[in-house]
Chain A
Amino acid sequence: MTSTLKGITLKGSAELVAEFFSFGINSILYQRGIYPPETFSRVTQYDMSLQLTTDTKLKSYLTNVVSQLKEWLFDCTVQKLVLVITCLETSEVLERWQFDIECDKSAKEISAPREKSIKSIQDEIRSVIRQITATVTFLPLLETACAFDLLVYTDKDLEVPDKWEESGPQIIDQSEEVRLRSFTTSIHKVNSMVTYKRTDSA
């Protein structure tokens, strides 16, 4: 839809960012081996081949979260999206993939589309996803069985929709942080960073 229009509107920007999150989360799940690789299928997006899950339960969960996130992006009430990887045996958090979202609230009042080409945004997103794939090389191995969770940092006064609940930030103690690339649609700016538990062997 947005690729045919010339400029970026708030709605278009929200859709782009939500799409990025959907593919980015799938990539992280594939790369970190949270789900077995045979449950992923290859698709082409942003001029690169990405892995997308075929597990129906996971798909439905992701669509629920991403659709709600799209609404919140449109309202500019969401501040961060965090993918938390927890070890099932010890219930401790091993990795945190955090995406900070900075929204230009003036786009809510001024509905004129902004001058930024879709291609440049896609290029930026491509470089971010490539970097995510590259960071996996230096992250510590996840040897135990892990599960993931998606946390959303929103404004305090936001009405909590049903099926959602409040949770803690699930911060890792003794962590190493790495800041990754960011991309911007001129309305939403997304900064990526990964935090992982420091391994004592290092």
Chain B
Amino acid sequence: TMDIEDDTTVFSTLKSFKSFISLPDTSRNQGEPAPVQSHILQNQYLQRLQLLEAAEKVQSKTQLIQLDQEKRQMEISHKRARIELEKNATLSARDFEREVDRNQDLLGRIRRLEEREAESSQSLSEKAEANRALHRTLESLNRRVEERDGWLNTSNQTVSGLKDEIRDLKQQVQTRDNTISNQTLENQGLQEQVELQHRKYQEVSQRCQALQLASSTCSDHELKIKELERKLALHEQDVVIVKNMRSEVARVPDMDKELRQLREENVYLRETRENVILLKEETEGLRRKVERMEKMKEEMVNVELEKEVCDLFVVLTACCVPCRTPEDLSREVIQIQQREIAVKQHNYTLTSSCRSVERSKADLQGELLSLRSKALEEQKKRETQESLVRRLQKRVLLLTKERDGMRAILESYDSELSSSDYTPQLSRRLREAEDVLTKTQNHNTEMEVWRRSVCVSMELELEVMKKQQDSVAEGNPLATNEEVNTLRLKIEELEGERQRLEEQNNVLELRLERHNLQGDYNPVKTKVLHFSLNPTSMAKQQRVEEVEALRAEVECLRERLRSLQTGGAVPLAAAAGETSLSLPPSQEVLDLRKQMETAELKNQRLKEVFQRKIQEFRTVCYVLTGYQIDITTENQYRLTSVYAEHMDDSLLFKASGGAVGSGGSMQLMETDFSRTLREMVDLHLHHQKSIPAFLSAVTLDLFSRQTTV
């Protein structure tokens, strides 16, 4: 409202200001305008007054409105205040009522509480009385309690004594329990020990079984060893034999070479036989010469001997040898020579013996080496066997120890456990183990014995071999000879087989070679390829094409032949039109064609000439005889005269009995024209029997007719 009032005041001030301003304007403009302007000014002033009155009215209206509004607001606020007061009043009334109610409630409560108090006081008094009574009872009870406590004490004492006894008893029980538990523990321990012993026993039994198996395998092995040693010995023997045979076989190529050489020598010797014969003859001649020469020589020798004797005598006499005669000389010389010879013989024997001894020494050395090697091998075998034996002995010792231990354990068990069910079985098993042990021991002893025997035998063999070594020169024993023979037979058989197999091999190789040369192949590893467009296939194709072409030509030629046979000169032209055949025209064909053409030309000319001539002759006949003669059919002739009246007038003659020239006669046939000439026919043909006369008569007749007419 204040704003409105302000506005209104502002409006009013503005208005007043404007009105104030306008007044001086009008006052200013008074001097200038005329009385018209004063009217205008008065109007304006009146208008402004009216406006001012309107504005005042408006103002008052606005004020009224404002006051109304204020009033309304005042009324609203008044109403609000009243409502609030009423509310407050109602609220306070309610509160008051509530308070009153409360009051009443409280009063009620107070009364009740007072009643309760009274009751409680009563009860209190009663209870106090009860309390006193209770106190009395309490006292009585207390007395009883005391009595009972006394009893209780005594009983407690007895109870304590009993408890002590109980404790003692419990202790005893405990100690007994302990002893029982200890005993049970001991029992368990003993049971465990028994179980252990069971297990040990089982192990021992297993070991015994194993030992048995081992001993059996030992025996098997020993058997195998024996067999192997036997085989070894056989092998060695075989090896020795093979070596010998190899050496012998090695000699074979040398033998082959010697063979070849001998063969060559043989050949050479055969060749030189003739030379030998010649030489023999020469030698005979030479022998005779030699004989002569020998005789000469003997003489010479004698002479020389004498000379030597004389020389010796001279020398000896010079040397003072106790001999005077040449006979003594000769004797001495002979003796000296004999001594020389003896010495030389002795020398030779010594050298031969030396050589033989050397040879034997070399052989012996070789054999010594071989024997030494054998001895080494045998020593090695012996050593291995001894080691085996040692191992076995050790095993035996171990087993005996085990057995003793087992025995001790079992004895201990026997001592501990007097009445148990295991002993008989254990003892039985013990016995069995002992038996097994004794068996193994026996086996061991047997093995040892066998080994010793083997060693002994080996030693014996060694000694034998040594003896053999010493006495090699005595030669091979007979037993080996037989072996050698059997081996030789085997070798021969094997060689025969080998040769057979070689021959087979050669044959197969030849076959293979042949197949390879022929071009065979293994289809698994090889395949054969060739170029698709190869000359052979192309040549074959060409051939096939040629054959087809030739066949087609042949067909064409056959057709030509057929057409030639049926037609005449036509096919030539037709053939010329056929372009399928392109035979090169040969020389004969050309000549024949030329001949044909000339012949045809000749023919044509001849035909023309004949035609002309015939035509000439016929015209001449016609002209001269006056008749045109036509041959209608065979042996029938038609004559038409020059002077015939009609074209159809003709005479027909038939030649009967073949041709005219060969004795046949002509007869006139009946025609229309001939009927008109009956008289002449009768006259000339029947009576005169002359056809020319008839014909001439007819011409004359016709001529006469013609000319006259």
Interface residues of A (CB under 8 A from B): 57-58, 61, 64-65, 79-80, 82, 84, 86, 88, 91, 96, 98, 100, 145, 147-156, 158, 160, 163-172, 175, 177, 179, 193, 195
Contact = CB atoms under 8 A, between A and B. Distances in A.
Interface in B497-532: 514, 516-521, 523-532
State which size class the interface on B falls in: 20 to 34
A147 B243 CA distance: 65
A156 B526 CA distance: 5
A166 B520 contact: no
Report which residue of B520, B524, B531, B532 has the largest number of chain A beta carbons within 10 angstroms of its beta carbon: B531
A98 B526 contact: no
Nearest to B517: A177
A163 B533 CA distance: 8
Interface class of chain B by DSSP: mixed
A80 B526 CA distance: 10
Nearest to B522: A156
B536 A193 contact: no
A142 to B, nearest CB: 13
A148 B529 contact: no
Nearest to B525: A156
Nearest to A72: B529
Contacts of B514: 177
Contact of B534 (A61, A153, A166): A61
State the majority secondary structure of interface residues on A. Answer: strand
B526 A167 contact: no
B539 interface: yes
B535 interface: yes
B678 interface: no
Contacts of B467: none
A119 B463 CA distance: 74
Contact of B525 (A80, A145, A155, A164): A155
Contact of B532 (A86, A164, A195): A164
A172 B515 CA distance: 11
Interface string B528-551: 111111111111100100000000
Contact of B518 (A88, A164, A165, A175): A175
A150 B531 contact: yes
Nearest to A170: B519
Given A57-B538, A61-B535, A155-B525, 20 more contacts: A79-B521, A88-B540, A96-B519, A147-B535, A147-B540, A149-B534, A149-B536, A149-B537, A153-B521, A154-B526, A160-B529, A164-B530, A165-B529, A165-B530, A165-B532, A166-B528, A166-B529, A167-B528, A169-B519, A195-B518
B529 A152 contact: yes
A91 B538 CA distance: 13
Contact of B531 (A84, A91, A164, A193): A164
Contact of B528 (A153, A163, A179, A195): A153
A152 B536 contact: no
Contacts, number: 100
A98 B520 CA distance: 11
B538 to A, nearest CB: 8
A98 B519 contact: yes
Nearest to A171: B519
Contacts of B517: 98, 177, 179, 193, 195
Contacts of B529: 151-152, 154, 160, 164-167
A171 B524 CA distance: 18
Nearest to B543: A88
A147 B541 CA distance: 11
Contacts of B523: 156
A63 to B, nearest CB: 11
B521 A58 contact: no
Nearest to A85: B536
A65 B532 CA distance: 11
A156 B531 CA distance: 17
A147 B536 contact: yes
A147 B535 CA distance: 6
Nearest to B514: A177
- In the A-B complex, list the 7 residue pairs whose CB atoms are closest, starting with the nearest: A147-B539, A177-B517, A147-B536, A149-B536, A167-B530, A149-B534, A151-B530
A91 B536 CA distance: 9
Given A100-B516, A149-B534, A177-B517, A154 B540 contact: no
A156 B524 contact: yes
> Which residue, A64, A91, A158, A177, has most C-beta atoms of chain B within 10 A?
A177
A156 B527 contact: yes
Contacts of A179: 517
A43 B179 CA distance: 131
Contacts of A147: 535-536, 538-540
Contacts of B538: 57, 147
A93 to B, nearest CB: 10
A150 B523 CA distance: 19
Contacts of A64: 531
Contact of A152 (B516, B530, B532): B530
Given A88-B540, A195-B518, A195-B519, A61 B533 contact: yes
A154 B520 CA distance: 13
Nearest to A100: B516
A150 B532 CA distance: 10
Contacts of A91: 540
Nearest to B534: A149
A193 B517 CA distance: 7
A147 B539 CA distance: 6
B464 to A, nearest CB: 59
B530 A149 contact: yes
Contact of A153 (B524, B527, B535, B540): B527
A100 B518 CA distance: 12
A7 B275 CA distance: 60
A169 B528 contact: yes
A171 B528 contact: no
A88 B539 contact: yes
Nearest to B539: A147
Contacts of A153: 521, 526-528
Contacts of B520: 169, 171
Contacts of B524: 156
B546 to A, nearest CB: 10
Contacts of B525: 155-156
Contacts of A88: 539-540, 543
Contacts of A175: 518
Contacts of B533: 61, 163
Given A155-B525, A171-B520, A84 B536 contact: yes
A171 B518 CA distance: 7
Nearest to A55: B535
B609 to A, nearest CB: 59
Nearest to A91: B540
Contacts of A148: 535-536
Contacts of B532: 163-165
A150 B536 CA distance: 9
A64 B540 CA distance: 20
B145 to A, nearest CB: 126
A149 B535 contact: yes
